[in-house]
Amino acid sequence: MSENNDVMIQIDHVTKSYGSTKALDDFSLQLSTGKIIGLLGPNGSGKTTLMKILAGLIHDYCGSVTIDGHTIDPYTKSIVAYLSDEPYFPKWMKIRDGIRLYHDFYTDFDVEKCMHLIKQMELDPNMSIKSMSKGMNEKFLLALCMARNALVYILDEPIGGVDPAAREEIMETILSNYNPNGLMVISTHLVKDIERIFDEVVLIKQGSVVLHRNAEELREERNQSIDDLFVEVFRHDAFN
Q: How would residue 83 be classed by pLDDT, with cut points 50, 70 and 90? A: very high
For residue 1, being part of any structural domain is answered with no
45 HSE (CA, 13 A, CB side): 19
Q: Where are the alpha helices (DSSP H) in 59-110?
A: 74-79, 95-105
pLDDT at 179: 82
Residue 85 backbone dihedrals phi, psi, to 5 degrees: -85, 5
pLDDT(239) > 80: no
- Render pLDDT for 89-110 as a digit per residue (tens, 0 to 9): 888 999 999 999 999 999 999 9
Judge whether 211 lies within some domain. Answer: yes
Query: Could you report the per-residue pLDDT of 5-39, keeping only the tens digit for each?
Result: 599 999 999 999 999 999 999 999 999 999 999 99
The structural domain count of the chain equals: 1
Buried b (16+ CB within 10 A) or exposed e, 121-153: bebebebebeebeebbbbbbbbbbbbbbbbbbb
How many Å is the Cα radius of gyration of the chain?
18
Q: Is residue 24 part of a domain?
A: yes
Condensed to tens digits (0 to 9), the pLDDT of residues 165-203 reads 778 878 888 888 878 888 999 998 889 888 999 999 999
- Residue 160 confidence class, pLDDT cut points 50, 70, 90: confident
- Rounded distance between C-alpha atoms, residue 165 and residue 217, angstroms: 29
CATH code: domain of residue 224: 3.40.50.300
Nearest to 156 by CA among 85, 55, 54, 53: 85
Residue 240 forms part of a structural domain: no
117 in any annotated domain: yes
Task: Check residue 1 and give its pLDDT.
Answer: 35
Average pLDDT for residues 200-214, to the nearest whole number? 95
Task: Say what the pLDDT of residue 190 is.
Answer: 85
* Residue 75: domain span: 7-235
